[in-house]
Amino acid sequence: MTRHAQLAKTFLTCRDAAVHHDHTFWHVRENRDHMAQAVPEWEQLRSLASDIKAHTLSHIDTYLEQFEARATSNGVYVHWARDAREYCETVLHLLKEKDVTKVVKSKSMLTEECQLNPFLEAADIEVVETDLGERILQLMKLPPSHIVMPAIHIKKEDVGKCFEKMLGTEKGNADPTYLTYAARQHLRHHFLTAGAGLTGANFAVAQTGDIVVCTNEGNADMSTSIPPLHIVSMGIEKLIPDLESMAVFHRLLARQGTGQPTTTFTSHFHRPRPGCEMHVILVDNGRSQILSRKDHWQTLKCIRCGACMNTCPVYRRSGGYSYSYFIPGPIGINLGMLRDARKHAGNLSACTLCQSCDCVCPVKVDLSQQIYLWRQELDTLGLANRQKKIMSQGMQLVFNHPRVYSGALRFAPVINKLPRRLTGVRINTWAMAHEMPQFATKSFHELWKEGNL
Amino acid sequence: MNIGLFIPCYVDALYPQVGVLTYRLLRKLLPESHIDYPLEQTCCGQPMGNAGFQKLSNGLVEKYDKLFSAFDYVVSPSASCAAYVRTFYPLTYRHPCKAASHTMDLVEFLHDVVRPASLPARFPYTVSLHNSCHGVRELGLSSPSEKVVERYSKMRSLLSLVSDIHIVEPERPDECCGFGGMFSIEEPHVSACMGMDKLERHIQTGADFITGPDSSCLMHLQGLAMKSGKQIQFKHIVEILTAF
Ligand code: SF4
């Protein structure tokens, strides 16, 4: 079994939690469906969004320069980072320059990708996540299990216990309203005392230099309204041409991600607050490499809405931690392979090729086809499963030789007569949950040849 | 009309009656047509492709092209195999050919090309539709639940021609059942969990039978049903369209 299959097995042994996980995310999928069905031009919007992304990515050099020029003329400092290391160092440098010892941070998958938090912590800078889910995970020292709802797999009782210890809440109180209030109080203190606010970017508008951040908690706005320094971290693929394009994505993002018509807060950051500084770091970290791969560049269209996870029947039944890459689900399988194929090949089995992800994706990333193509590369990478290779070679032999094939057909029914001890052997994982199908006494082939139809 | 029958390997070996009934139904509905079954056919290559060994099945694609290029239509009673041929041959094998583009699953062939106004079939049972993924999302046998398009189901339309039938659909009507070929071997636990969930939803409809255009999904569900002692029965859609 692959790494994913093994961890999925463990996940499924806790039946109640597994059912809960499946129902929770299916519910998000249903909410998304209701929202989508209420927009008659939905499929048109998806095509448009896909086209806009394809256009921007294929003119990325021009748009990046346009963005840089606009943002700079708005008074924003723009930095470029080739990889994770350069990125982390840039952030640290900016913080040191201003003697910052504590930062408040809104959700950003890029910082997770580049492992910014441990880097800053090693330099004695306190990092406080301000998205409630992210904060819970940070206090529990756990990674996210979903990109939009990172802590949804955690039970409120466990949050209660964690807050008791870390924030001094009442013993045994797991009331979500109470706990949220406690978190709010606790975060407020940090908003007031942090030296810098870090945000990601959902979109960056080349025409205007806007950084667009979408949240439901307003925490990005809190993180940027008090500290004197605002640092934006964004992958270069977040760029879109203009505000008209933004309107298309705005209609899609929240409907797709959480089943809301819009996120509660959609903030456009144009320029620094008076007397303050705003910096944008444009991060490549492998993206221009991906852009050059004809089979995989489409992953760069992704707007991280999370819908492909919610609809994925395998993700819902195996959980975020069963994947080795920090982004799970269909897009995570692909991004993991692009990051480090050897390390993340164990996720490739987590797909039935049902294509539900392809049909929900707001920007039409060809997720399942890319997974299929990655599977084809495993043998060349020396990572193919031996059993599968032998089976496939066997099939090649039988199927390419009609005479061998008809011979095999004639003898197949013998298998029916084997004792179940033999057909149900351990290596035959199918037999763990299934009765074996029975071979027909006469195949269609034979019936046709007999003219007996 | 010249029709080539493509009876994929596992149907050939495990469910030959599905092939036989397909032939008989086409014979009856299209008495003027010539229906042939090229004997050299074996498999479409999908099991190898899904396992990551598409390169080992290149020969099968060329052979398919050779065997079926002369037909007006190639009809197969297996949506997943038909979908693989029609979509993957041009796309990932980069072998576009007439044989592939003229390949149709039996349901869509009946619904779109033959268009029977009535069928002399009777099936006085409650039947739950199994919308298999490739049928829905590659061939468009029904409207995918993810998309904002007009709702339709070619399976339902055809089955409505059968007398006394009661057609139902499970909750989450086109969620994957977890077969996925090699997937069921490589990810046995997730696969079984998906299958059992699907089975339960079919059973909850109160149906006597589960039917679909793919014997592979049905084989998976039937294997699970038998092992767990569930009573519900299984029929390929052609078995119902020809029942009396
Ligand atoms: S791949 Fe598509 S569905 Fe998945 S997170 Fe990205 S945009 Fe959303």
Give A-chain residues touching B14 at CB under 8 angstroms: 437-440
**A445: nearest CA in chain B?**
B12
Length of chain B equals 244
Q: Does B185 touch chain A (CB under 8 A)?
A: yes
Bridge partners of B235, per DSSP, are B211
Q: Does B20 touch chain A (CB under 8 A)?
A: yes
- Does residue A342 sit in the same domain as residue A309? yes
Contact present, A135 and A187 (Cβ < 8 Å):
yes
H or E stretch covering B8: none
- Does residue A164 sit in the same domain as residue A261? yes
Instruction: Supply the range of the domain harboring residue A198.
Output: 39-285
**A318: nearest CA in chain B?**
B190
- Does residue A157 sit in the same domain as residue A81? yes
With respect to residue A16, please indicate whether it lies within any of the assigned structural domains.
Answer: no
CATH code assigned at A171: 3.40.50.10420
As a whole number of angstroms, the distance between CA B82 and CA B94 comes to: 17
Gap from B157 CA to chain A (nearest CA, Å) = 23
- Does residue A63 sit in the same domain as residue A140? yes
- Does residue A259 sit in the same domain as residue A392? no
With respect to residue A24, please indicate whether it lies within any of the assigned structural domains.
Answer: no
For this complex, say whether ipTM is above 0.90. Answer: yes
Give B-chain residues touching A318 at CB under 8 angstroms: 190
| pLDDT of A395 | 86
Distances (CA, A) of A179 to A186, A276, A338, A392: 10, 33, 39, 54
On the question of pLDDT at A381 being above 70, the answer is: yes
Alpha carbon A199 to its chain's center: 18
Task: Give the residue from A344, A377, A410 where a domain finishes.
Answer: A377
As a whole number of angstroms, the distance between CA A376 and CA A382 comes to: 11
Read off the pTM: 0.95
Gap from B44 CA to chain A (nearest CA, Å) = 9
Whether A359 and B144 lie within 8 Å, measured CB to CB: yes
State how beta strands A210-215 and A265-269 pair: antiparallel
Q: What is the mean pLDDT of residues A229-240?
A: 98
Structure tokens at A83: 């990889």
Of all residues in chain A, the percent with pLDDT exceeding 90 is: 85
Check residues A437 and B36 and name the one with the higher pLDDT: B36
Residue A172 dihedral angles phi and psi, to the nearest 5°: 75, 0
- Does residue A369 sit in the same domain as residue A390? no
State how beta strands B34-36 and A203-205 pair: unpaired
Q: Which long-range contacts (CB under 8 A, 24 or more apart) does A45-49 make?
A: A45/A248, A45/A251, A45/A252, A45/A362, A46/A252, A46/A361, A46/A362, A46/A363, A46/A364, A47/A364, A48/A248, A49/A248, A49/A249, A49/A252, A49/A303, A49/A362, A49/A363, A49/A364
Give the torsion through C-alpha atoms of A234, A236, A238, A240, to 10 deg: 130
H or E stretch covering A214: strand A210-215
Check residues A391 and A324 and name the one with the higher pLDDT: A324
Pick the residue of B35, B61, B190 with the most A CBs within 10 A to test the interface with A by mutation.
B190
- Does residue A334 sit in the same domain as residue A230? no
Distances (CA, A) of B165 to B18, B209, B238, B239: 20, 11, 14, 13
Summarize pLDDT for A346-363 with one digit per residue, the tens: 999 999 999 999 999 999
Q: What share of chain B is helix, strand, coil (3-state, %, to 5)?
A: 50, 15, 40
With respect to residue A240, please indicate whether it lies within any of the assigned structural domains.
Answer: yes
Torsion over CA: B130, B136, B141, B144 (sign): positive
With respect to residue A19, please indicate whether it lies within any of the assigned structural domains.
Answer: no
User: Residue B165: which residues within 8 A CB-CB, separation 6 or more?
Assistant: B122, B123, B124, B125, B127, B159, B240
What is chain A's mean pLDDT, rounded?
Answer: 94
Task: Give the residue from A228, A254, A285 where a domain finishes.
Answer: A285
Helices (H), chain B: 9-14, 16-29, 46-51, 58-68, 79-83, 89-91, 98-101, 106-108, 133-137, 154-159, 182-186, 188-204, 215-227, 237-241
User: Degrees (nearest 5) of the Cα angle B226, B51, B95?
Assistant: 120
Number of domains in chain A: 3
Structure tokens at A407: 């011979």
Contact present, B25 and B238 (Cβ < 8 Å):
yes
- Does residue A302 sit in the same domain as residue A281? no
3-class DSSP assignment, residue B234: strand
The dihedral region occupied by A306, where left means phi > 0, alpha psi between -120 and 50, and beta the remainder, is left
| pLDDT of A433 | 84
- Does residue A299 sit in the same domain as residue A281? no
- Does residue A280 sit in the same domain as residue A329? no
Q: What is the mean pLDDT of residues B86-108?
A: 95
What letter would DSSP give residue A239?
E
Of all residues in chain A, the percent with pLDDT exceeding 70 is: 97
Which residue has 């990046």 as its token pair? Answer: A64
Ligand 1 pocket: which of A249, A361, A364 to mutate (most atoms within 8 A of CB): A361
With respect to residue A312, please indicate whether it lies within any of the assigned structural domains.
Answer: yes
On the question of pLDDT at A244 being above 90, the answer is: yes
On the question of pLDDT at A24 being above 80, the answer is: yes
Summarize pLDDT for A314-343 with one digit per residue, the tens: 999 999 999 999 999 999 999 999 999 999
Distances (CA, A) of B117 to B34, B111, B157: 21, 10, 11
Q: Does B132 touch chain A (CB under 8 A)?
A: no
- Fill in the amino acid letter for A13: T
Task: Give the residue from A236, A254, A285 where a domain finishes.
Answer: A285
With respect to residue A25, please indicate whether it lies within any of the assigned structural domains.
Answer: no
- How close is the Cα of A148 to the center of ligand 1, in Å? 11
Candidates B106, B75, B85, B86; CA nearest to B213 is B106
On the question of pLDDT at A283 being above 80, the answer is: yes
Summarize pLDDT for B196-229 with one digit per residue, the tens: 999 999 999 999 999 999 999 999 999 999 999 9
With respect to residue A238, please indicate whether it lies within any of the assigned structural domains.
Answer: yes
With respect to residue A290, please indicate whether it lies within any of the assigned structural domains.
Answer: no
- Fill in the amino acid letter for B13: A
Gap from B126 CA to chain A (nearest CA, Å) = 24
On the question of pLDDT at B191 being above 90, the answer is: yes
- Does residue A262 sit in the same domain as residue A317? no
Candidates A319, A385, A314, A325; CA nearest to A2 is A385
- Does residue A164 sit in the same domain as residue A206? yes
Give B-chain residues touching A355 at CB under 8 angstroms: 133-134, 137-138
Summarize pLDDT for B140-187 with one digit per residue, the tens: 999 999 999 999 999 999 999 999 999 999 999 999 999 998 899 899
| pLDDT of A420 | 62
CATH code assigned at A306: 1.10.1060.10
On the question of pLDDT at A418 being above 70, the answer is: no
